[in-house]
Amino acid sequence: MLIVQKYGGTSVGTLERIDAVAERVIKTKKEGNKVVVIVSAMSGVTNRLIEYANFFTNEPLGREMDLLLSAGERVTSSLLAIALSAKGYPAIAFSGRQAGMITDHFHTKARISAINPENINKALQDDKIVVVAGFQGVDENGDVTTLGRGGSDLSAVAIAGAINADVCEIYTDVDGVYTTDPRIEPKAKKLDQVSYDEMLELASLGAKVLQNRSVELAKKLNVNLITRSSFNDHEGTLITGEEKMEDAIISGIALDRNQARITVRKVVDRPGVAAEIFSALAKEEINVDMIIQNVGRDGTTNLGFTVPENELHKAYEIIQKVNPNSGEVIESDNEIVKVSIVGVGMKSHSGVASLAFQTLADEGINIQMISTSEIKISMIINEKYGELAVRALHKAYNLDK
């Protein structure tokens, strides 16, 4: 079999951990498989590099930022290849560029445009273990780019797709995908199987066990994705195209702390104003999530929307520039979180949303914004109550049973 394995930050967090990863890779190789390994930076390294840059400015240059951040993954990929070779298993490390990972030029959140897996395929033919630095690529100018936080998952899925791997295994510090973050609710249960669609919602709504774009791509390319622990041999979670036949209405609860809200008050109520505001944000690649508009009585409206917390500053400046109405008041609030319940069974059951609202009401938690789709309900609440809400909802939907 041709197997892609991705090891996250904690899994390569120390030299001893890298050694343990090397042993696991060797075991896979000895079983007669060809192996391509994608690695993250050692845990904490990416954050530290960001802090280093922030020592000088809060708005570092994107190009230099990416060159800086890509260093973390280069360290681990080189070390793992060195460790493997030292153990008698020929290995070769590639940077994103050497692995043929071509992206657009949006620094710190680049999108993959193509993969040229020639080097990888050649090395596999030579019977080498291939180790690729995750999270990074190169744009058409030859500048290094990175794929957004958690982007090594995306590197792994993209490479698995490009070389037609039989399976893409994501090794992390928990046994798989749980009904909610086991660090928030210790009673969370591991799921044996979850559909691409549910996983995509969970990941997009804050369950960082898999990066959302990696799930999207896995679905598109039909990559067999498995999440499991690098610390034991427990069975992980299979992410598949099948929707389970069991009758679980809800499969999980997610908490997204990276949320902030902008409210523009007294916007003139005329056609085109919303288009003006949101196209200005879209042009700068800012991801707007929930939108609420309240119609006032005096011909003006209040427009509220959420953006990722780390883009609040930029979004705020853009809105000020657009200046939808001279007298407006713009407010920003980053003391919010989004809690969501996800499940394909919601489509065919009623009363799912009302139970969520009642559960939060019983805890005295005020819901500030709501959005729903066929398979999820999201609520914006004060960040103080985020974990409490997760636990209360987890219990209300019997996910601990």
Identified binder of Mg ion from the candidate list 60, 72, 96, 150, rule CB under 5 A: 150
Could you tell me what percentage of the chain is helix, strand and coil, using 3-state DSSP and rounding each to the nearest 5?
35, 30, 35
Tell me which residues in 57-116 interact with ligand ASP (CB under 6 A). 72
Return the DSSP state at 180: S
Least distance (Å) between residue 183 CB and ligand ADP: 4
The encoded tokens of residue 354 equal 């009302």
Is 9 a binding residue for ligand ASP by CB under 6 A? The answer is: yes
Residue 151 touches which member of ligand ASP, Mg ion, ligand ADP, none, C-beta under 5-8 Å by kind: ligand ASP
Nearest Cα to Cα of residue 148 among 33, 13, 46: 46
Residue placing its CB nearer to ligand ASP in the complex, 60 or 72: 72
Is 252 a binding residue for ligand ADP by CB under 6 A? The answer is: yes
Amino acid at 167: V
The encoded tokens of residue 250 equal 């809800």
Burial class (CB in 10 A: 0-12, 13-18, 19+), 92: buried
Residue placing its CB nearer to ligand ASP in the complex, 36 or 341: 36
Q: How far is it, in rounded angstroms, from Cα 27 to Cα 15? A: 19
Least distance (Å) between residue 57 CB and ligand ASP: 20
Q: How far is it, in rounded angstroms, from Cα 377 to Cα 372? A: 4
Least distance (Å) between residue 362 CB and ligand ADP: 23
Least distance (Å) between residue 47 CB and ligand ASP: 7
Residue placing its CB nearer to ligand ASP in the complex, 151 or 324: 151
Least distance (Å) between residue 118 CB and ligand ASP: 24
Residue 41 touches which member of Mg ion, ligand ASP, ligand ADP, none, C-beta under 5-8 Å by kind: ligand ASP
Residue 178 touches which member of Mg ion, ligand ASP, ligand ADP, none, C-beta under 5-8 Å by kind: ligand ADP
Identified binder of ligand ASP from the candidate list 21, 41, 238, 239, rule CB under 6 A: 41
Tell me which residues in 193-222 interact with ligand ADP (CB under 6 A). 202, 207-209
Number of other residues whose CB lies within 10 A of the CB of residue 338:
24
Q: DSSP H helical segments within 152-222, as ranges?
A: 152-162, 196-204, 212-221
SS3 state at 367: coil
| Cα separations in angstroms, 371 against 189, 320, 395 | 26, 26, 21
Q: DSSP H helical segments within 171-259, as ranges?
A: 196-204, 212-221
Is 48 a binding residue for ligand ADP by CB under 6 A? The answer is: no
Nearest Cα to Cα of residue 230 among 38, 381, 394, 385: 38
Which residues are within 8 A (CB) of 78 and not within 5 positions of it... i.e. 6 or more apart? 93
Q: Which helix (H) or strand (E) holds 28?
A: helix 15-30
SS3 state at 388: helix
Least distance (Å) between residue 244 CB and ligand ASP: 28
Q: Which residues are annotated as a binding site for substrate?
A: 46, 73
SS3 state at 103: strand
Task: Give the contact letters, 143-162, x = binds to ligand ASP (CB under 6 A), - = no.
Answer: ------xxxxx---------
**How many residues touch ligand ASP (CB under 6 A)?**
13
Is 40 a binding residue for ligand ASP by CB under 6 A? The answer is: yes
Identified binder of ligand ADP from the candidate list 3, 4, 5, 10, rule CB under 6 A: 10
Identified binder of ligand ADP from the candidate list 87, 122, 183, 234, rule CB under 6 A: 183
Task: Give the contact letters, 8-27, x = binds to Mg ion (CB under 5 A), - = no.
Answer: x-------------------
Which residues are near ligand ASP by CB under 6 A? 8-9, 40-41, 46, 72, 134-135, 149-153
Which residues are near ligand ADP by CB under 6 A? 8-11, 40, 150, 172-174, 177-178, 180-183, 202, 207-209, 252
